[in-house]
Structure 1
Amino acid sequence: MADVQLDTVDALMARYAAGILPEPARVLVEAHLEMQSVNRPKVSKYEAAVGDILEKMEPVALNSRDAVLKAVFAADPLAAAKVLPRPANALFPKAIRDFAGLEAEEIPWKRKLPGFKEYSLGKIDGCDVSFFWLKPGRVIPAHTHEGYELSLVLDGAFNDARGRFVKGDISVADESIDHRPMAESERPCIGFAVSDAPLKLTGSLRQLIGDLIG
């Protein structure tokens, strides 16, 4: 994802509409749209704009995509697309279930840190893809990112210096974000993460030890 700037969720929606996201990131956005319909009008707007722009443009090189996206952002809004309901007993949205081939209760979690579990799907389309589980009240040690990390909250919620992320929300983090996410106390936080580079720990040794044993 290094060549596709994803500074905001709006930018992510535009790139989804333009069809220039890696497959795991596309699935993440599609799942978000299943869970929260608020961004569907924007996506419909961007998709219509992409169609109009591509009809009028000569073929463009990959490094010219930002010109297309600038025009996409300027398009007029359209009505929201119809959202089909998910099965009542399914925690994962259909896009995630189809992509991963499993439901939440089928995940073979592996303990990575106290109160933090992960299941990696490996490297897909240039991205590291995984599910994560964070115990209620547990903190992930302070870190930043050497590239982009997209996280979709599938259940529960977490907080960091940017605010609160609840079920269906997307967190977009990069090297400009130094954060210390904490799961809320009511229930575990379960999420789907897509990244193109490793994270980098930034907290002090004392803080790191406190987070690991706290």
Structure 2
Amino acid sequence: MESLIRMVREHIDTIDSLLARYVAGTLPTPARVLVEAHLELKPENRIKVRNLEAMAGQALSEIDPVALSDHEGMLAAVLASAPPRAMASKTVPEPTVFPKALFDFVGFDADDVPWRTRMPGFKEYDLGDIDGCHVNLFWIKPGRTVPAHTHEGSELSLVLDGDFTDARGYYARGDISVADDSVDHRPCAGMDRPCIGLAVMDAPLKLTGSFRQMIGDIIG
């Protein structure tokens, strides 16, 4: 979680830093899953990941190797360990909307999400706190505007289907939105289809709009 907070507080507005932390293995589990899902939907960014991995490998190759203190003992322990048990095979349906990384993480696809309505035109499925982050799936009705809000910490949002816009730009399937306490926005779903997404945050959001504006957003 610390790396996620640091990334946003540095006001990095591209996903390059996020991908670098993914390669370094420093992201909390939900953020790692979010990045893996993003890479499935935006395969062009796998090139960046491969380049970052190559740079990391080059850096490691320049470090002087250190001999193992008990090579024979470690080898004996590995050889003495019990072989892994065979897993029973089962047929798992291929996801149609969720990337496989997310499907494996939550255990279902978009059609089977047990949504709960939070307000007219906005539904959510709360996955709870995982590895120091709060995780949820969200569904926004076409054309619906979410009430204006900022964030007490940081939030990563991955668009899984549909799209939304805010004052910063346009986000479609596979895009990641990065927000923190410097961002005050009113995301609005596109008109063609519901916007479905995955949100990973380290602190709650905070409503900022006027009461009149919030009522208008809620009743549409």
Q: Would the TM-score normalized by the shorter structure come out above 0.5?
A: yes
Say whether 1:213 aligns with 2:213: no
* Rg larger in structure: 2
Of 23-32 and 49-58, deviating more is: 49-58
C-alpha separation in 2, matches of 1:173 and 1:182:
15
C-alpha separation in 2, matches of 1:17 and 1:155:
26
Does the C-alpha gap of structure 1 residues 98 and 89 become closer, same or farther in structure 2, counting only changes over 3 Å? closer
Tell me the equivalent position of 1:195.
Answer: 201
For residue 142 of structure 2, the aligned residue among 136, 143, 147 is: 136
SS of corresponding position for 2:164: strand
Structure 2 letter corresponding to 1:155: D
Tell me the equivalent position of 1:112.
Answer: 118
C-alpha separation in 2, matches of 1:145 and 1:25:
17
Structure 2 letter corresponding to 1:91: V
Query: C-alpha root-mean-square deviation of aligned residues, in Å?
Result: 1.6
User: Tell me, which stretches of 5 or more residues in structure 2 are unaligned?
Assistant: 65-92
Summarize the alignment of residues 172-191 of structure 1 with structure 2, pairs less than 5 Å apart: 172-191=178-197
Moved segments of 4+, more than 3 Å: 54-58
Tell me the equivalent position of 1:5.
Answer: 7
For residue 40 of structure 1, the aligned residue among 35, 40, 46 is: 46
C-alpha separation in 2, matches of 1:57 and 1:148:
34
CA drift of 1:53 comes to 2.2
Contact 1:144–1:175 under 8 Å retained in 2:
yes
Say whether 1:99 aligns with 2:114: no
How many percent of aligned residue pairs carry the same amino acid? 62
Q: TM-score, normalised by structure 2?
A: 0.80
Contact 1:32–1:152 under 8 Å retained in 2:
yes
Summarize the alignment of residues 46-125 of structure 1 with structure 2, pairs less than 5 Å apart: 46-57=52-63, 90-125=96-131
Alignment length (residue pairs): 186
For residue 127 of structure 1, the aligned residue among 107, 126, 133 is: 133
SS of corresponding position for 2:43: coil
